[in-house]
Structure 1
Amino acid sequence: MTTSWRRVRFGQVIQPTVDRETPNAATDLPFIGMEHVESQTGRITGHGRAADISSLSPRVLRDDVLYGRLRPYLNKVAIAPEPAFASGEFIVFRGNDDVDSRWLKWRLTAPDFVEFAISLNTGDRPRVKWSQMSGFELFLPDVQHQRHVVEILEEHLSRLDAADAAVRSAETRMRLHIKATSASIVGRMENVRCVPSMRLSDIAAIGGGGTPRRGESRYWDGGTIPWVTSGDLSQGVIATASQFITNTALSETSVRLWPSGTLLVAMYGEGKTRGTVGELAIDATTNQACAAVSLREPSDASRSWLRLVLESRYDALRRESSGGVQPNLTLGYFKTLVVPWPDPDHAAALVEEHRSNVENALRLERELRTTRNRSAALRRALLAAAFTGRLTGAQSDVERVEEMAGV
């Protein structure tokens, strides 16, 4: 670090703006909320309409710095691309003769400041106050040097951004590939004449569950019988339960005990839950949101094949849902569902083919995760180097940053 860097506190060189207005209903200015700013990168991914806001809000100018004070671990700091209104959850800064706005934006995302901000408050919704952050000490070069540092930093970060985008694209293609290959395996069997098609109710017992009255302590207190909900199906294989009912509940209510190996399908639920398939690894009861499918002649091959068929039809199951606010599947739908039913040896071979595809995908996923973690470490190291005088634009920067990142 050169002698041109001086040690200061934030409050000595910058102050937040105090421009606040209630947007006019006729304004065409955008509104930038916390949800519009991407964590870590500060990229603005969209905006709302200021005309829809009826509360006092910060008025920002182009190149103002928006610091997300709510939940500072989210690390949301952005540069306003144009005049706008912003959420009151932002502390707004404007560059001056001492501080370049782009430099300030990146300085507020640096690991040491993020850790400092996180340490200030606790609770579910911690908020940083300017009076708290104003005392943060940092080294500050002159504005010309700040701009030079930012130019070098953003060039390196742009390469990381490109690499991260490539990883995200690869992850998306991988998920689509797995979905396509499982659908292809099932589809081959649907188009082979020698493979019979069976109605699900002919090969399996199909039923549902229920929710014992919550106010009836005899049904819940001291319960030892696992009770599974549609939200639990995301586990894939369900080996534990978070809720339990009593034998009294089992004998007096509509719940039914399903054996280990039963397949469960979410008939309704929030978000992506509806259509999700899980497999019981324990004897358990379920709530009414689950369709239970228990093969009459169970075997590992037949159960795994049926699970593959149901999972491959996830999108189709969701399309088949009916209803208004919360679309539902029904037990009647599953009872009449027709599935290809190859002989056990053939089913085992198809399941193994699918398992091999999944294992290859998981191996790729681990490699992509390693790449993503490496990129995150390099990003943190770049920011640390930039604000301690160790990012100079020389070729040695790369080796220095990689050493700092431990990669």
Structure 2
Amino acid sequence: MTSKVGIPATWTMTNVEAVSEAILSGSGFPKEFQGDTDGDYPFAKVGDISQVFRAGRKVINSAGNYISEQIRKKINARAFPPGTIVFPKIGEAPRNNYRVINSVEMIFDNNVMGIVPKNELVDKDYLYYYLTTRDFGELAVATAVPSIRKGDVGSIAFPLAPLNEQRRIVSKIEELFSDLDEGEAALRRVQSLLASYRQAVLKAAVTGELTKAWRETNQHRLESGEALLQRILQARREQWNGRGQYQEPQPPDIDELPDLPEGWVWASIDQLFNVYVGSTPSRKEPSYWGGDIPWVSSGEVAFCRISDTKEKITRQGYENSSVKLHPKGTVLLAMIGEGRTRGQAAILDIEACHNQNSASIRVSETDIPPGYIYYLLMYSYEQNRRMGQGGNQPALNGMKIKGLTVPLAPLEEMKEIVNQIEIISSRIDALEIWCKTELARSATLRQSILKAAFSGKLVLQDPGDEPASVLLERIQAARPSPSPSKPTSRTGAKTQPKVQPTLWESS
């Protein structure tokens, strides 16, 4: 039997305020009291909440900072009782929908809000799981610094089930979620193994192990890497048309480099290829933008092949700046950034320019397959990133890129290496896509479980349970009436609370 609002007849619709002892805001945390790792109270910040939530846990019981009872009194900080549901309330953090339950008495900073459940009316875990279906990012008031108000949290519509049924629902949710957790953990282990396997393949490729058998079979017909290097150097001398006398590129220092297979040789990027740093036409000139010349930003250099770009420049922008148009087969390398961008590479499948935060390695001006250099840069990604550390903004530069070392194999062997990597990579890619698909399916299944839970369809109703409406009335009758809400505008009018869809309704 179901009521008009789509919940069982023994349930009732109320709001979060009605099932809460209090909705609390955190306390200010002066810097002079921060840094202690021992004390009477954990003092948690948004980062502590984020760390717990992102680790797949719902319970927080420690923090990066602790304070004593004496300091708590001195700064007038309020401790949240165990069982409080806490979440970020200010800035962009609410959009991440982090929320956890503290299992010990804790203090939270003033960027955090907490809901203290009425335990005789609502199971804290039942309320917690319901709140995970709400998008708190949409709840934040759009001001210069977005923030969540207590009134908007309190007005969230809430389907209250009989207390015993709440506990059965929580038990069933956690049983099903436990199964999903195990499956997701297995998928993530597979993802980790695939990443390790990909790196192992790349290492085997650039050390000659991948093509060892092929090389032994074809050694008699291969031009050596040394002969190829000399041929490239001679071609560059003959094609020189720059200013002044041609300067021989710098060879690598091989004293500390490992031995290579017979027929291979160490070379530098500078010896093999022309390298250019990009540039950006003036943003102040609208006529320079919106044309038909592809222009690559460093964010697009993400271990991929580039066949189109987000932005394009005009012929006027091209002619009035120092940008260069690079041929197909050029390998781009991102030079700047603290995030994952620095050190990533891409292959141009089109002619394109690029910005000053990346460098172009014109591999296609030689016979060397661009894929070989691309996979070499993929293999050495972490090492190249370390080269760019230091300074206010970690970065590679043109000189560092020219100095990168290349284990130069015979030309035909490099082609075979690329071929074998791509065969193996296609299999790895397929498995990685399968893992992502299954993880997304698991996330969708979680939402389906929650949808069933809070519409009364996850567990059976027990006729012997006290109806939620009766329980709510009894609890309210036994408590003093709350004081009226304070006016929230200068006119004294109350603002209308926001009605928030569940995540499954908004998806």
TM-score range, shorter chain: 0.7 to 0.9
- C-alpha offsets along residues 273-319 of structure 1, whole Å, 9 cap, x if unaligned? 111111122222222322211136445x6111121122211122122
2:399 counterpart SS class: helix
Question: Does 2:10 correspond to 1:5?
Answer: yes
Instruction: Choose which of 324, 331, 335 in structure 1 pairs with 2:398.
Output: 331
SS across alignment from 1:306: helix
The aligned counterpart of 1:61 is 81
Deviations 1:165-197 (A, max 9, x none): 222222122112212211221112762111233
Deviations 1:142-171 (A, max 9, x none): 333323332232222222222222222221
> Is the contact between residue 238 and residue 279 of structure 1 (CA under 8 Å) also seen in structure 2?
yes
Structure 2 residue matching 1:361: 3-state secondary structure:
helix
Report the counterpart of residue 231 of structure 1 in structure 2.
299
Paired position in structure 1 for 2:233 = none
Partner residue, 1:201: 270
Map 1:304-319 to 2 at 5 A: 304-319=371-386
Cα distance in 2 between the residues matched to 1:43 and 1:179: 34
**Alpha-carbon distance in structure 2 between the residues aligned to 1:254 and 1:20:** 53
SS in 2 for 1:234: coil
Q: Deviations over 1:233-279 (max 9, x none)?
A: 12622222334444455445433221121111122223111111111
**1:377 lines up with 2:444 in the alignment:** yes
Residue number among 54, 58, 61 corresponding to 1:43 in the alignment: 58
Matched, 1:186 2:206: yes
Q: Distance in 2 between matches of 1:349 and 1:182?
A: 13
CA positional deviation for 1:9: 0.5
Counterpart mapping for 1:131-170 below 5 A: 131-170=151-190
Q: Give the superposed CA RMSD.
A: 3.6
Q: Distance in 1 between matches of 2:168 and 2:325?
A: 68
Q: C-alpha distance in 2, partners of 1:173/1:101? A: 38
Q: 1:64 to 1:349 in 2, by over 3 A?
A: same
Contact 2:89 2:147 in 1 (8 A): yes
* Shift in Å, 1:66: 1.9
Task: Give 1:120 shift.
Answer: 5.6
1-side partners of 2:25 and 2:387: how far apart?
52
Change (3 A) 1:248 1:58: farther
Question: Which one-letter code corresponds to 2:13 in the other structure?
Answer: V
Q: Distance in 2 between the 1:86 and 1:17 partners?
A: 13
Q: TM-score, normalised by structure 2?
A: 0.66
Which region of structure 1 is more displaced relative to structure 2, 336-345 or 242-251? Answer: 242-251
Change (3 A) 1:250 1:69: closer
CA distance in 1, matches of 2:186, 2:140: 36
Give the direction of change, closer, same or farther, for the CA distance of 1:47–1:346 in structure 2 (3 Å limit): same
* Aligned residue runs from structure 1 range 236-251, under 5 A: 236-251=304-319
TM-score when normalising by structure 1: 0.81
**Residue number in structure 2 paired with 1:351:** 418
Letter in 1 for 2:175: E
> 1:264, 1:278 within 8 Å by CA — same for their partners in 2?
yes
CA distance in 1: counterparts of 2:173 and 2:364, whole angstroms: 64
Structure 1 residues 327 and 270, CA gap change in structure 2 (3 angstroms):
closer
> Which amino acid in structure 2 is aligned with residue 238 of structure 1?
I
SS in 2 for 1:225: strand
1:16 aligned residue = 22
Residue type at the aligned position of 1:32: A
Task: Quote the residue 1:397 is aligned against.
Answer: none
Q: How does 1:29-178 map to 2 (within 5 A)?
A: 29-35=41-47, 36-37=49-50, 38=53, 43=58, 47-49=63-65, 59-68=79-88, 74-87=96-109, 88-110=111-133, 114=134, 128-178=148-198
Q: Percent identity?
A: 25
Partner of 2:360: 292
Query: Any conservation in 1 of the 2:96–2:137 contact (CA below 8 Å)?
Result: no
Give unpaired runs (5+ residues) of structure 1.
Answer: 395-403
- Residue 367 of structure 1 is matched in structure 2 by 434
The residue identity in structure 2 corresponding to 1:194 is G
- Give the paired residue count: 389
